[in-house]
């Protein structure tokens, strides 16, 4: 914010609140550049209310919140913040894998509640992670960073992605699989594809039926990739063992069925939430805005 205040005339001070639609429509009226986050839906009407806008710098790598076609039609450059958040989000994915498999949240609650009476042979038994099969859907930057970490756990990696990988890091053996086979063979299924018309509800009733009853679903990508109603049903029926979620179908609302399930670990969309990474994401937004306002190409243009 210090850099922004120094280099630009700031029209609207950001707040830790999701702006209302009215805030957006009014707030962008005179703006030549805007930084938005994934919680703001920037559709054709919002863009129409921003006639001076030259660049919309999304402070996120995913940009499903923006109507890219309308932006292009209006000559508004849209940018995102790739790479700097890859490791941070991959780390959080592993946090969820380990937390859900080893019942970390339940254990913490037991100790805090003073209900813990000491070590016991069958207390809070979880699932092994090392040596199990990791399935990754969407083998891009974050998917590959998650896969790379699996080497330390001696886990075979299966992946399903839109475009086959052209190369892999040395000494890695990631195996491409059709989606159905990946779901049937994996012990941990991690989602890392962007939200698009093709990936909305990619994982629903039929897909949960294919998964092993001992397997776990981890979603740090976008909530609507999973049919949350079907996920709750599958968890209740025992078609899968648990889920680790950072994102939700109707954020910030969470399906009430998830809240009562102990085999689920729920985080409030924290994928990139470290101080260093958020500063780097902010600085990428500034870099892109400076480039466009100076008539140069934006380094992270998505449209
Ligand atoms: P990326 O490098 O673009 O990777 C996405 C991968 O998904 C690409 O390999 C892409 O294939 C593949 N893909 C696209 N459509 C697919 C489909 N229909 N089926 C299977 N695979 C498909 O993006 P990234 O930087 O890894 O980020 C991935 C997503 O993570 C973002 O879009 C964002 O929504 C989410 N994210 C969440 C958090 C969080 O806070 N929880 C933080 C960062 C990112 P192609 O090569 O063909 O495009
Ligand atoms: C966060 O969800 C992002 O897409 O950066």
User: Annotated catalytic, 177?
Assistant: no
- pTM equals 0.97
pLDDT category at 254 given cuts 50, 70, 90 is: very high
Asked whether the predicted pLDDT for residue 174 surpasses 90, the reply is: yes
- Check residue 52 and give its pLDDT: 97
Tell me what percent of the residues of the chain surpass a pLDDT of 90: 94
- The active-site residue, picked from 222, 228, 249, 300, is 222
Give ligand 1 pocket residues (Cβ under 6 A): 61-62, 82, 85-86, 89, 137-143, 160-163, 192-196, 198-199, 220-222, 246-247, 269, 271-272
- Check residue 149 and give its pLDDT: 98
Asked whether the predicted pLDDT for residue 14 surpasses 90, the reply is: no
Q: Is any ligand 2 atom within 6 A of the Cβ of residue 281?
A: no
User: Annotated catalytic, 269?
Assistant: yes
Average pLDDT over all residues of the chain: 97
pLDDT category at 16 given cuts 50, 70, 90 is: confident
- Check residue 173 and give its pLDDT: 87
- Check residue 15 and give its pLDDT: 78
Nearest to 150 by CA among 169, 122, 164, 126: 169
What tokens appear for 173 in the block?
């053996």
* CB contact set of 11 (below 8 Å; sequence gap of 6+): 27, 30, 31
Asked whether the predicted pLDDT for residue 267 surpasses 80, the reply is: yes
pLDDT, one tens digit per residue, over 110-166 is: 999 999 999 999 999 999 999 999 999 999 999 999 999 999 999 999 999 999 899
User: Annotated catalytic, 249?
Assistant: no
Peptide bond before residue 284 is cis, with ω within 30 degrees of 0: no
- The active-site residue, picked from 106, 251, 287, 290, is 251
To 10 degrees, the CA torsion angle through 168, 188, 270, 254? 140
Residue 135 pairs in a beta bridge with: 158, 189
Asked whether the predicted pLDDT for residue 13 surpasses 80, the reply is: no
């Amino acid at each position: 914010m210090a850099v922004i205040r120094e280099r630009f005339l700031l029209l609207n001070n950001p707040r830790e609140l999701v702006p209302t639609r009215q805030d957006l429509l009014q707030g962008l009226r005179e703006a030549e550049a805007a930084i938005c986050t994934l919680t703001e839906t920037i559709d054709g009407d919002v863009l129409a209310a921003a006639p001076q806008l030259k660049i919309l710098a999304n402070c996120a790598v995913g940009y499903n919140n923006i109507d890219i076609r309308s932006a292009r039609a209006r000559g508004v450059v849209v940018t995102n913040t790739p790479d700097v958040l890859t490791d941070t989000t991959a780390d959080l994915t592993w946090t969820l894998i380990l937390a859900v498999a080893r019942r970390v949240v339940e254990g913490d609650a037991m100790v805090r509640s003073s209900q813990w009476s000491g070590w016991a042979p069958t207390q809070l038994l979880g699932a092994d992670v090392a040596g199990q099969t990791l399935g990754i859907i969407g083998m891009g930057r974050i998917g590959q960073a998650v896969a790379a970490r699996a080497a330390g756990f001696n886990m075979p990696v299966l992946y399903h992605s839109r475009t086959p990988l052209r190369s892999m890091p040395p000494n890695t053996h990631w195996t491409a699989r059709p989606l159905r086979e990946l779901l049937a063979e994996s012990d941990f299924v991690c989602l890392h594809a962007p939200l698009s018309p093709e990936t909305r509800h990619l994982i629903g009733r039929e897909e949960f039926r294919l998964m092993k009853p001992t397997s776990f679903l981890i979603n740090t990508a976008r909530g609507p990739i999973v049919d949350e109603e079907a996920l709750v049903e599958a968890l209740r029926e025992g078609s899968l063992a648990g889920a680790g979620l950072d994102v939700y179908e109707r954020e910030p609302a969470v399906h009430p069925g998830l809240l009562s399930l102990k085999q689920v670990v729920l985080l409030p969309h924290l994928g990139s939430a470290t101080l260093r990474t958020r500063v780097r994401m902010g600085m990428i937004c500034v870099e892109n805005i400076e480039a466009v306002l100076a008539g140069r190409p934006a380094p992270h243009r998505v449209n």
